Structure 1
């Protein structure tokens, strides 16, 4: 990177050869504003464009990067607007958010060091999120002194919405978690009430005399994303595991599961992206390729949760199958933070004609008295029709729940 000079945002903006008249832009135009014709030279990875831009101090490579990144950028802005309840079909607003993200990426480019190991989008992910939030901050009904103040107000609002605790308890918890005074926490909660442009998350019920009772009547339980997506696994562990994924992996998880891990909003299951759409957006040659990539990402996320000690995994491999008598045998392995790659596999034999199973050998790491992981494997396999038995299967289970259930 040249120490003398780098591109300024004004210089970059001057290279954008388009003119927009009020009301004249369409969503198609807003969504293709960075597309180049003819298309730029292909690279094996779009991060290669960024590396070239940094090493050669040439903005042309950044325009190549934007050409390929724009569909994903559109998706991220679209999902953010959807989460915030904003009209996502307003072209000029959509473009404003996109340009804010591009400008912050240019700022990140000045400090990006390719030799540190992280790709550019992983490095810029946090700053991109801040850029979107800052755009939202400027549209709020009230005003905030800074982005940090705005994020603090959103944070305590989210905590209040999802904790089920009283206002006083939420203020005390937030103050303790953020190492601030309760007076400061109370100010943030007040700001959140006054300045949210969406439907207020808190209001009070009035009694017959018109006096406020202080009773909360508008808690939004639908935002409890830990319970909805992860079936009760601790949200902090999921957040930490998610943060260990790179940008593309995080995007896959959010798209496929209709969830925003930034704010915790869970969308309708109908809103989740199909593998066909993911394949198109990420330029996979087949839908199967996108599905295979997604499954690898899920396995990686699962491994992080196993390492955190809140999730167990049972791995199964079919070693025998007899169609005549509807029987099968599987090797199984208990994967959790007390297990390792050298542990021996156990064996379970299934009789589908009678709906029974026998644990022939316990896997290392299984609990010898209760056979926790063997029981998990048996329950799952017996639910599958014999004709559909998989050759390999990975079954996640809530490790702490299984321990309590079996008293180990």
Structure 2
């Protein structure tokens, strides 16, 4: 079991932190005294000028705080199981709440969490800004860059049209708008820059800026320190495998340029590039290259993957009513088993991979979610997918 856990650096680190510790950092023993509502702890902290009540408040709202940080990291395409990063984002939210404590007026009718929600959102975006490869003069500038990047991605319009539309919307000059878009495109060629989407209270938070997310690993490609792992893994592929991945996904692994989806090669075009191949042969070679790169990235700790193989199916009137899949966590170790009942819309994890209740359950849940999203009449016999 110790060897199994040693393969998961994202659950621990040089400082000895674990995800359990960082998600329970504000839990008090014994529990704090109960008040009628959680907001009363904030009122008490203000009335008595005693931050112990703020600590009691954090004890009760920590699960909600964890959820907000986790959702933000997911939307940004970041690893939600990295203890140090998770704690950094979480502590930034707490600092934002402390700064809001003095100016909060409970008699205006709003709960403290509602009052501090916008400040916490800014704190999360500030953390994200610090991780980008580019430099920004202020948080407001970073938000504007995210905003125009989102507009460029979602509208599908030309650069000139987007610049004109953004300038009218924000009341700035087209020259300024073009500068923001240029910065966004420059960052996207190096790291994964994320932009505005709607949070639970319509606050702008995060969405991928890439115009053509055709490759499952594009979000990882130039994501900070991961870029080194990706480049190292890519260099271990054969020349043919490298060309297949680059041409099919319209990406240059030398400079990080991501071209428009219209520039990606079809399998027929790839077959012509590699004489003696057919379109179906080029597709099989491409799939094998993707799988090989995935395995290399898993070995490097850059991502995780679930390998699935269908064990059996049960048909009723030629339709698949149930299926049994075996799954493997990170392409290594003993297989687990999952049973799917498509008639009742249920799934049961019969056996966890390596009988591991702590780590491989995450992989099992990913496998369940993936298969349930598939067409029951077109279930894959085997596959490998990354997350």
Q: TM-score range by the shorter chain?
A: 0.3 to 0.5
**TM-score normalised to the size of structure 2?**
0.47
Q: Given the two structures, how large is their TM-score scaled by the length of structure 1?
A: 0.45
